[in-house]
């Protein structure tokens, strides 16, 4: 069955690059505490992102004329996974590198590419994703935010929800309605929204741990110039579906709890009990296989294939893995979770427990992914 056939990742010697990234991270993150590393790709640090950009590690696969580096998907993968494994604060450039940049390359105008891609690659331009709304989560085609054509552009009204780091971002890729509601897929478009535009209000939403990363973004008669239209008018649905393939396949889909696994191994020490060795070994086995699957998807992307189904499979398996790590860790180490603990294991465990519910929601819920897989199997 093609769906479960994951070709071997492309063979390329990337060890020199890996060593370079490791050395960079060892220096930059020398004082970063485990509980901060545990934030994984939610950690935000604009200075750090600029340094990564200066190294040439953002937009690695993009053409040089847009500030990219024309390196392979596998090289990019090495940089990503090393960053995540080290718990580097990558959020300031993550969305641009992962999806907004590739989207611009695919459907953006020449002007949009020339002005924005080099800034993204330098780690100086932060993006956020404006898809979800109060009444449109899994059912993305139900968005109600609307852009109405006016002289010289569009006027936007509506509310976007859960927009991660909108409060730090320079731009949002907005997915909204431009045609009739009855058209569903056909009447949608994407826009490149400068978040300084008048008529946009960004309000924080605290997550269950009291932390602020996502937001509500309200558009009230916000005027966007015609040049803000991204891709074709009315082609928003196809564009957004293509974007999701980039969003689902990467190593961030199974490494979100990796810091806890590291702290678990530290807490268990060199001579773990029988039970602990079995549990840690099993998790490591899962990690090896997930990494293989995910690198295979990176290879398919590099070959210009569309591995949307395979990406859904990897994300579903990855979320199960990320979510079971805290449950296993807490049974092996005698420690209660506490965000304030001075004991690394307890603090990292606390952070992870408080965040795992989101792992099977963000980027497409578990049920939606499984629906996509079922369609791939020919059941729907």
Partner 1 sequence: MSDTSQILVDTATRLFEETFTPRQLALAETGRWLGTEWQAVEDMGLPLALVPEEAGGFGLPVEEALNLIRLAGAFAVPLPLAETMLANRILASAGLELPGGPVTLAPVRADDRPTLERRDGGWLLSGTAQRVPWGRAAAIMVLAEHDGRTLVALVPAGQAEVTPDINLAYEPRDTLRFETVLPAERVAPSPGVAAADLRRLGAALRCLAMAGALGRILEMTTAYANERSQFGRPIGKFQAIQQHLAVLAGQAAAARAAGDIAAEAVAQGASALPIAAAKVRCGEAAGIAAAIAHQVHGAMGFTHEHSLHFLTKRLWSWRDEFGGEGEWSRLIGREVAQAGADGLWPLVTAA
Ligand X SMILES: Cc1cc2nc3c(=O)[nH]c(=O)nc-3n(C[C@H](O)[C@H](O)[C@H](O)COP(=O)(O)OP(=O)(O)OC[C@H]3O[C@@H](n4cnc5c(N)ncnc54)[C@H](O)[C@@H]3O)c2cc1C
Residues that bind ligand X (CB under 6 A): 128-132, 137-138, 162-164, 214, 358, 361-362, 365, 367-368
Q: How many chain residues bind partner 1 (CB under 8 A)?
A: 55
Per CB under 8 A, the list member of 23, 54, 181, 377 interacting with partner 1 is 377
Report what 164 binds from ligand X, partner 1, none; CB cut-off 5-8 Å by kind. Answer: ligand X
> Are 80 and 25 within 8 A, CB to CB?
no
Choosing from 79, 116, 147, 268, the residue that interacts with partner 1 (CB under 8 A) is: 268
What minimum distance in Å lies between the beta carbon of 71 and partner 1?
18
Residue 313, binding choice from ligand X, partner 1, none, Cβ under 5 to 8 Å by partner class: partner 1
**Long-range CB pairs of 58-63, under 8 A, 24+ apart, other chains included:** 58/93, 58/96, 58/97, 58/120, 58/121, 58/122, 58/123, 59/96, 59/97, 59/101, 59/117, 59/120, 59/121, 61/302, 62/101, 62/102, 62/105, 62/117, 62/121, 63/105
Q: Which residues contact 229 (CB under 8 A, 6 or more apart)?
A: 154, 189, 190, 191, 192
Residue 261 to residue 258: CA distance in whole angstroms? 5
Q: Does 16 interact with partner 1 (rule: CB under 8 A)?
A: no
Task: Verify binding: residue 278, partner 1, rule CB under 8 A.
Answer: yes
When CB distances are held under 5 to 8 angstroms depending on the partner's kind, the choice from partner 1, ligand X, none that residue 268 binds is partner 1
Cβ atoms of 59 and 121 within 8 Å: the answer is: yes
293 binds, among partner 1, ligand X, none (CB under 5 to 8 A by kind): partner 1
User: Would you state the torsion angle of the CA atoms of residues 94, 95, 96, 102, taken in this order, to the nearest 10 degrees?
Assistant: 110
156 binds partner 1 (CB under 8 A): no
Question: Is residue 38 a contact partner of residue 329, using CB atoms and an 8 Å limit?
Answer: no
85 touches partner 1 by CB under 8 A:
yes
- Residue 24 or 162: the one with the smaller Cβ distance to ligand X is 162
Cβ closest to partner 1, residue 18 vs residue 55: 18
Residue 138 touches partner 1, criterion: CB under 8 A: no
Mind spelling out the 3-state secondary structure of 83-102?
Answer: HHHHCCCCHHHHHHHHHHHH
Q: Judged by CB, which is closer to partner 1: 85, or 350?
A: 85
Minimum CB separation from ligand X for residue 163, in Å? 5
By CB under 8 A, residue 23 contacts partner 1: no
Shortest reach from residue 129's CB to ligand X, in Å: 4
Contact between 3 and partner 1 by CB under 8 A: the answer reads yes
Task: Name which position in 121, 125, 262, 311 contacts partner 1 (CB under 8 A).
Answer: 262
Identify which range of 45-53, 127-135, 239-247, 273-281 contacts partner 1 by CB under 8 A.
Answer: 273-281
Shortest distance, CB of residue 131 to ligand X, whole angstroms?
Answer: 3
Please state the three-class secondary structure of 149-217 as a single string. Answer: EECCEEEEEEEEECCCCCCCCCEEEEEEECCCHHHCCCCEEEEEEECCCCCEEEEEEECCCCCEEEEEE
Among left, alpha and beta (phi > 0; psi -120 to 50; other), residue 155 is beta
Residue 369 binds which one of ligand X, partner 1, none, with CB within 5 to 8 A depending on kind?
partner 1
Phi, psi at residue 216, to the nearest 5°? -105, 135
- Smallest separation (angstroms) from ligand X to the CB of 165: 7
Tell me if 55 contacts partner 1 by CB under 8 A: no
């Amino acid at each position: 069955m093609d769906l479960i056939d994951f070709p071997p990742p492309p063979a390329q010697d990337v060890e020199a690059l890996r060593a370079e990234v490791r050395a960079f991270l060892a220096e930059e993150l020398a004082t970063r505490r485990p509980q901060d590393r545990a934030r994984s790709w939610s950690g935000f640090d604009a200075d750090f992102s600029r340094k990564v950009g200066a190294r040439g590690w953002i937009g690695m696969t993009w053409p040089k004329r847009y500030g990219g580096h024309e390196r392979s998907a596998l090289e990019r993968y090495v940089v990503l996974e090393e960053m995540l494994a080290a718990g580097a604060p990558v959020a300031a450039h993550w969305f641009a590198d992962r999806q907004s940049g590739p989207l611009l390359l695919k459907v953006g105008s020449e002007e949009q590419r020339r002005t924005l891609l080099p800034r993204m690659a330098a780690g100086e331009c932060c993006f956020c994703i404006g898809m979800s709304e109060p009444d449109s989560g899994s059912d993305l085609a139900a968005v109600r935010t609307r852009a109405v054509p006016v002289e010289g552009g569009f006027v936007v009204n509506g509310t976007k929800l859960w927009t991660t780091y909108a409060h730090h971002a320079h731009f949002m890729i907005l997915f909204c309605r431009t045609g009739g509601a009855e058209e569903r897929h056909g009447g949608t478009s994407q826009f490149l929204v400068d978040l300084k535009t008048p008529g946009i209000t960004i309000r924080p939403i605290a997550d269950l741990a009291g932390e602020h990363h996502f937001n509500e973004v309200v558009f009230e008669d916000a005027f966007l110039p015609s040049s803000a239209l991204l891709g074709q008018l009315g082609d928003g649905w196809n564009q957004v579906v293509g974007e999701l393939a980039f969003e689902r396949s990467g190593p961030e889909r199974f490494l979100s709890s990796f810091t806890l696994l590291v702290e678990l191994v530290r807490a268990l020490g060199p001579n773990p009990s029988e039970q602990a060795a079995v549990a840690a070994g099993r998790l490591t086995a899962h990690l090896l296989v997930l990494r293989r699957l995910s690198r295979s998807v990176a290879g398919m992307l590099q070959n210009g294939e569309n591995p949307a189904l395979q990406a859904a499979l990897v994300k579903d398996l990855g979320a199960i893995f990320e979510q079971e790590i805290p449950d296993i860790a807490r049974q092996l180490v005698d420690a209660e979770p506490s965000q304030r603990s001075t004991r690394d294991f307890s603090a990292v465990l606390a952070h992870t427990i408080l965040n795992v519910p989101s792992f099977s929601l963000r980027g497409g819920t578990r049920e939606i992914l499984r629906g996509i897989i079922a369609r791939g199997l020919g059941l729907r």
